[in-house]
Amino acid sequence: MSKVDTDHMLDVTSPPESITYSMATPDDLPMVQALLSDNGLPYEDAGEHIEHFILAKEHGALIATAGVELLGTDGLLRSVCVSRKYRNLGIAGELCRRIEASAYREGVKRLYLLTTTAKEYFRCRGYRVCLRKSLPPAVQGTAEFLSLCPASAVCMVLDLDGASG
């Protein structure tokens, strides 16, 4: 069994039942960009990857999102964002579980991320800190890595297939 299914499922809060989850479509892009922008996260290139975003909505209103850039057997987790009003309800954990599982189904073995504010959250999910220079060239070539996230952002990685490395 992969780590996606077992090792880092630490959230004990279940999201409210009124929350629905779905894959994003191009029509969702303006809402996604607004949510990311309102929360100080990069949004400029979200449209290039919108088909790999999962949305959380309540009564049709977007309240959270998470996305992944697929880069062969590597992926870049991005845009994990929950509207302030809905934080600490387990929504981020549910989005992460879903996006990690989706990436794994797409053949991703290692999922990388850059964060300036959520290092501890992701550490508790099983991600470990890694050096920027150790990231695969495809990850280093993403817009988030090259220009959208500051050089001070912490790099982290999760081995989705259970291997360590």
CA distance 24 to 22: 6
Judge whether 4 lies within some domain. Answer: no
Judge whether 73 lies within some domain. Answer: yes
Q: What is the pLDDT along the chain (165 residues), one digit of tens a residue?
A: 233 333 334 444 666 688 999 999 999 999 999 999 999 888 888 999 999 999 999 999 999 999 999 999 999 999 999 999 999 899 999 999 999 999 999 999 999 998 888 889 999 999 999 988 888 888 888 877 766 676 678 899 999 986 544
Judge whether 3 lies within some domain. Answer: no
CATH number of the domain residue 110 falls in: 3.40.630.30
CA distance 125 to 113: 12
pTM greater than 0.75 (yes/no): yes
Judge whether 131 lies within some domain. Answer: yes
Domain count for the chain: 1
Range of the domain at 115: 19-159
